[in-house]
């Protein structure tokens, strides 16, 4: 008994002795939005943005000439007005009076100089190709012409003129993406300052608070031109384990969990749906299978189509993924409900095509070697692969092997064409179908990886860039029809974003492009939140 007591006392003493807290508890007195993230932002510099996860930060900290708001509506941002000249290739932007978060004015020169760094051949920007629609930008990036020759001119502090290569109907949306945001002088000149000290021109600014590797705080930018629209005192993005985030949300310590910054574990989806807590937003993205069209039997179009038609995507979506994804009956999501390009689970046609494909290759079913589905190791991909294995076995008696790889090894396999079937996805940066279709235009495009290239497809995509409105739409539709007839990729389903949201949190816009617009966010019941 005495020993037990002694142990307890020591335990208590130990904690009393070491009871100095790493930080003093802070009493919450602000309207703070708390959002969970599973990864650290790779960068806070819009010129280096690559993945979807940084877009929420970028959209909050910076603003481009235009701004994409609810339902993808494009509204003026840093440009107060703009004019499109009759040639449809020249845009004249009048920059509004606004300031960086350090009080310096935002001018046309900020855009001009930022874009100059982007188009510097030595500057490592992953998305400089997005500038290719601007006259001379591609050549400047390749170093064959100087930046002065590019179709970007700052006439004065308030006037920016951009000349395009060709009329580009989606240009105003394109310049609302982070790739076209301006950065402050310190960022441009690579001054030795911490990224949190960089000025930003968007609704929020970054504040160095807490540990900068697991917690990122954004507070309203006092100099933002539309400061009154920003209602909350701060937004905290907290790095949390996905399961921990769910528990903290249940304890009301988080206002947002799940997409776009983290993932709700697939096993929790059914329960959350049953509880009525799960929110779903459609995504401008598609999951598909890449087929290595150089590797027999995948070099046979009929074989590829047979595999595609045999799949029961509805089953996969409903019973396995459980996240309100939509079975894909074409590649681009825009017309998914209007015009399917093949029928899901069309077993009759699939079997016929499979038979013909084997005859063309002088093979019998028994002689057909095992086929391998390769994927980056994660629970979702593994479940998808298991469904494919089962469905193709049932349809054709195919022996399918599953090869789960570490992500970087998987990408290496894709790049070196060391695979037969790979599970992949594509999330577009803008709403236009060209953003999807261009991926498979050339086989040397880094993301294509199928070794498929078709002269007619290239021609249709090229023609679409010269055409207008309905004609353009038709050409892109024809291109997609060709892609689906050739089937170098097998679309599986259109992605969806799953998330949990505090019901008091309003004004937040979750874009189907995969980011949160936090500019107008507020708490409906402010006093309750402040006294939390």
Q: Contact residues for another protein (CB under 8 A)? A: 3-4, 6-7, 10-11, 14-15, 18-26, 40-45, 48, 50-51, 121-129, 141-142, 195, 211-215, 238-241, 244, 247-248, 251, 253, 376, 406-409, 411-412, 415, 424-427, 444-447, 449
Nearest distance from C-beta of residue 513 to another protein, angstroms: 13
359 vs 447 by CB, closer to another protein:
447
DSSP strand pairing (371-376 vs 400-405):
parallel
As a whole number of angstroms, the distance between CA 151 and CA 171 comes to: 14
123 vs 468 by CB, closer to another protein:
123
Nearest distance from C-beta of residue 409 to another protein, angstroms: 5
Nearest distance from C-beta of residue 214 to another protein, angstroms: 4
Nearest distance from C-beta of residue 415 to another protein, angstroms: 7
44 vs 171 by CB, closer to another protein:
44
85 vs 409 by CB, closer to another protein:
409
270 vs 409 by CB, closer to another protein:
409
Nearest distance from C-beta of residue 349 to another protein, angstroms: 31
**Of 259, 392, 373, whose CA–CA distance to 324 is shortest?**
259
Nearest distance from C-beta of residue 100 to another protein, angstroms: 19
10-33 burial: b if 16+ Cβ within 10 Å, else e: eeeeeeeeeeeeeeeeeeeeebbb
DSSP state of 30: S
Nearest distance from C-beta of residue 22 to another protein, angstroms: 6
244 vs 525 by CB, closer to another protein:
244
241 vs 360 by CB, closer to another protein:
241
As a whole number of angstroms, the distance between CA 137 and CA 144 comes to: 10
**Of 80, 518, 434, 18, whose CA–CA distance to 261 is shortest?**
518
Nearest distance from C-beta of residue 200 to another protein, angstroms: 14
The pair of structure tokens assigned to 24 is: 């003093």
243-255 burial: b if 16+ Cβ within 10 Å, else e: eebbebbeeeebb
The pair of structure tokens assigned to 448 is: 């294509």
23 vs 367 by CB, closer to another protein:
23
**Of 217, 58, 60, 80, whose CA–CA distance to 127 is shortest?**
58
The maximal CA–CA distance of the chain, rounded, in angstroms, is: 93
Nearest distance from C-beta of residue 43 to another protein, angstroms: 4
- 299 neighbors 291 (Cβ within 8 angstroms): no
Distances (CA, A) of 153 to 147, 164, 184, 196, 492: 10, 12, 18, 30, 44
Burial degree of 370 (CB within 10 A; 0-12, 13-18, 19+)? exposed
Nearest distance from C-beta of residue 321 to another protein, angstroms: 18
156 vs 406 by CB, closer to another protein:
406
- 238 neighbors 262 (Cβ within 8 angstroms): no
14 vs 271 by CB, closer to another protein:
14
- 327 neighbors 346 (Cβ within 8 angstroms): no
As a whole number of angstroms, the distance between CA 192 and CA 512 comes to: 36
DSSP strand pairing (152-156 vs 159-163):
antiparallel
Nearest distance from C-beta of residue 14 to another protein, angstroms: 6
11 vs 229 by CB, closer to another protein:
11
């Amino acid at each position: 008994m005495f020993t037990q007591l002694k142990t307890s006392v020591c335990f208590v003493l130990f904690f009393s002795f070491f009871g100095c807290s790493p930080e003093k508890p802070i009493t919450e007195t602000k309207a703070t939005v708390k959002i969970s993230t599973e990864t650290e932002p790779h960068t806070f510099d819009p010129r280096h943005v690559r993945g979807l996860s940084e877009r929420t930060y970028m959209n909050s900290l910076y603003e481009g000439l235009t701004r994409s708001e609810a339902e993808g509506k494009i509204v003026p941002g840093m440009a107060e007005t703009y004019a499109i000249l009759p040639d449809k290739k020249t845009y004249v932007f009048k920059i509004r009076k606004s300031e960086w978060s350090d009080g310096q004015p935002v001018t046309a020169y900020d855009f001009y100089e930022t874009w100059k760094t982007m188009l510097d051949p030595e500057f490592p920007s992953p998305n400089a190709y997005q500038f290719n629609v601007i006259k001379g930008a591609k050549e400047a990036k390749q170093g064959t012409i100087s930046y002065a020759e590019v179709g970007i001119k700052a006439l004065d502090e308030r006037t920016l003129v951009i000349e395009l290569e060709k009329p580009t109907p989606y240009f105003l949306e394109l310049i609302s993406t982070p790739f076209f945001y301006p950065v402050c002088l310190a960022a441009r000149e690579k001054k030795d300052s911490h990224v949190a000290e960089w000025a930003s021109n968007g609704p929020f600014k970054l504040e160095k608070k807490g540990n900068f590797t697991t917690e990122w705080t954004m507070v309203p930018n006092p100099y933002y031109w539309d400061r009154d629209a920003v209602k909350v005192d701060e937004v905290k993005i907290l790095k949390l384990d996905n399961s921990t985030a769910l528990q903290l949300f249940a304890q009301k310590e988080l206002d947002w969990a799940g997409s776009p910054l983290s993932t709700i574990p697939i096993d929790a989806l059914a329960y959350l749906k049953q509880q009525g807590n799960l929110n779903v937003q459609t995504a401008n993205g598609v999951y598909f299978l890449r087929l290595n069209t150089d590797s027999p039997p995948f070099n046979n179009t009929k074989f590829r189509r047979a595999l595609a038609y045999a799949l029961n995507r509805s089953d996969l979506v409903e019973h396995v993924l459980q996240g309100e994804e939509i079975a894909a009956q074409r590649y681009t999501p825009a017309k998914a409900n209007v015009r399917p390009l093949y029928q899901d689970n069309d077993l009759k046609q699939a079997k016929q095509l499979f038979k013909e494909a084997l005859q063309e290759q002088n093979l019998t079913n028994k002689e057909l070697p095992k086929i391998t589905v390769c994927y980056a190791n994660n629970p979702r991909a593994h479940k998808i692969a298991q469904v494919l294995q089962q469905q193709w076995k049932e349809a054709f008696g195919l022996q399918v092997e599953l090869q789960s790889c570490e992500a970087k090894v998987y990408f290496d396999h894709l790049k070196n064409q060391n695979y037969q079937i790979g599970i992949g996805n594509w999330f577009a940066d803008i709403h236009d179908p060209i953003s999807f279709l261009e991926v498979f235009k050339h086989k040397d495009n880094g993301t294509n990886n199928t070794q498929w290239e078709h002269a007619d497809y290239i021609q249709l995509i090229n023609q679409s860039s010269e055409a207008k409105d309905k004609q353009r739409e038709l050409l892109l539709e024809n291109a997609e029809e060709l892609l689906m007839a050739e089937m170098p990729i097998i679309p599986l389903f259109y992605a969806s974003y799953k998330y949990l949201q505090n019901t008091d949190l309003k004004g937040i816009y979750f874009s189907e492009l995969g980011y949160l617009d936090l500019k107008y966010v507020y708490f409906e019941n402010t006093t309750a939140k402040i006294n939390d």
